[in-house]
């Protein structure tokens, strides 16, 4: 039996091939393939968090440092847990714990303020400005949302590996061909991938594809605007998103998982 290393193209590791398979699937779909891969990974992170992360000691310490998840990822948990587990008890229990932690910190602050303002408190026991600052600092975030940090790291990895896959066309010719047949990258991911490229030929190749994509999208958007919003279904392909929505995703990127994105 051949090993994975023997069957993999030269220069491609087993882990990279797993990502390549995700990229191939995304390249067959509408929109920026990197946005789709990153969006799917973001949703997967929340599912794993619901199943395992909120009960892990190291994760709980990170959540204390960031005061839980950011508003977007917390909203994702609220709507995802009933779908995955039938209720919201896990998220509710987690945030009950965080609120209790906040309550205790605020109680420390209240007692310290009372001691500072009480004229009966001996001067040596009155709170100093430095000590007061230390108490206040316990209420500040000292780390990013762990889901946001995971997405940031994965985004850097995905963009670098996509650039690498384009540059080794001898090993992965289908990636380059599928990219040509796709709708191209959003502008943020195009810039990120371009910075990872070392080949001037691939930069030119990507630049031409992106120029063609932007010109086509601009023509579709202008036609849509000329006819008025509501005519986009008649102008575009069946099931195709309106040109203005595709323009927004192209310019800004669409890596944030939302309930309507699935």
- Give 145's contacts (C-beta < 8 A, 6+ positions apart): 66, 68, 69, 70, 73
Report the C-alpha gap between 260 and 262 in whole angstroms: 6
**How confident is the model at residue 186, as a pLDDT?**
95
Query: What is the band of 194 on the pLDDT scale with cuts at 50, 70, 90?
Result: very high
Closest by CA position to 201, among listed 191, 212, 209: 209
- Output 54 or 233, whichever has higher pLDDT: 54
**How confident is the model at residue 239, as a pLDDT?**
56
- Give 67's contacts (C-beta < 8 A, 6+ positions apart): 98, 102, 141
Report the C-alpha gap between 53 and 199 in whole angstroms: 40
Q: Which whole number is the average pLDDT over 66-86? A: 88
**How confident is the model at residue 2, as a pLDDT?**
40
**How confident is the model at residue 142, as a pLDDT?**
84
Query: What is the band of 148 on the pLDDT scale with cuts at 50, 70, 90?
Result: very high
Q: Are 116 and 132 in contact (CB under 8 A)?
A: yes
**How confident is the model at residue 44, as a pLDDT?**
93
**How confident is the model at residue 88, as a pLDDT?**
77
Closest by CA position to 174, among listed 185, 164, 183, 165: 165
- Output 140 or 132, whichever has higher pLDDT: 140
* pLDDT tens-digit readout, 79-110: 888 888 778 788 888 889 899 988 888 887 77
- Output 133 or 223, whichever has higher pLDDT: 223
What is the rounded average pLDDT for all residues in the chain? Answer: 81
Q: Which whole number is the average pLDDT over 120-147? A: 70
**How confident is the model at residue 259, as a pLDDT?**
54
Tokens of 125: 């026991």
Q: Ranked by mean pLDDT, which of 37-51, 103-117, 121-135 comes out on top? A: 37-51
HSE of 198, CA atoms in CB hemisphere, 13 A: 6
Closest by CA position to 30, among listed 234, 254, 257, 209: 254
Long-range contacts of 235-244 (CB under 8 A, 24+ apart): 240/30, 241/30, 241/31, 243/217
């Amino acid at each position: 039996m051949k090993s994975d290393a023997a069957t993999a193209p030269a220069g491609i590791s087993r882990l990279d091939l797993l990502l390549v398979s995700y990229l191939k699937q995304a390249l067959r779909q509408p929109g920026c393939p990197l946005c789709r891969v990153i969006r799917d990974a973001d949703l997967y992170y929340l599912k794993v968090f619901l199943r395992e992360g909120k009960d892990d000691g190291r994760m709980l310490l990170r959540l204390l440092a960031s005061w839980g998840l950011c508003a977007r990822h917390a909203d994702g948990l609220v709507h995802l847990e009933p779908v995955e587990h039938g209720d919201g008890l896990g998220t509710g229990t987690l945030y009950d714990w965080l609120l209790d932690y906040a309550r205790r910190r605020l109680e420390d602050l209240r007692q310290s303020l009372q001691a500072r303002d009480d004229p009966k408190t001996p001067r040596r026991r009155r709170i100093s400005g430095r000590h007061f600052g230390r108490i206040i600092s316990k209420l500040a975030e000292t780390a990013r949302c762990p889901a946001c940090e995971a997405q940031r790291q994965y985004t850097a990895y995905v963009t670098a590996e996509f650039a690498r896959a384009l540059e080794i066309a001898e090993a992965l010719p289908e990636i380059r061909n599928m990219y040509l047949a796709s709708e191209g990258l959003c502008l943020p991911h195009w810039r990120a991938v371009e910075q990872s490229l070392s080949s001037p030929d691939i930069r030119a190749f990507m630049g031409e594809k992106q120029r063609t994509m932007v010109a086509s999208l601009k023509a579709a958007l202008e036609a849509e605007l000329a006819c008025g919003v509501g005519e986009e279904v008649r102008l575009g392909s069946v099931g195709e998103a309106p040109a203005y929505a595709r323009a927004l995703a192209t310019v800004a990127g669409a890596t944030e998982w939302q309930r309507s994105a699935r």
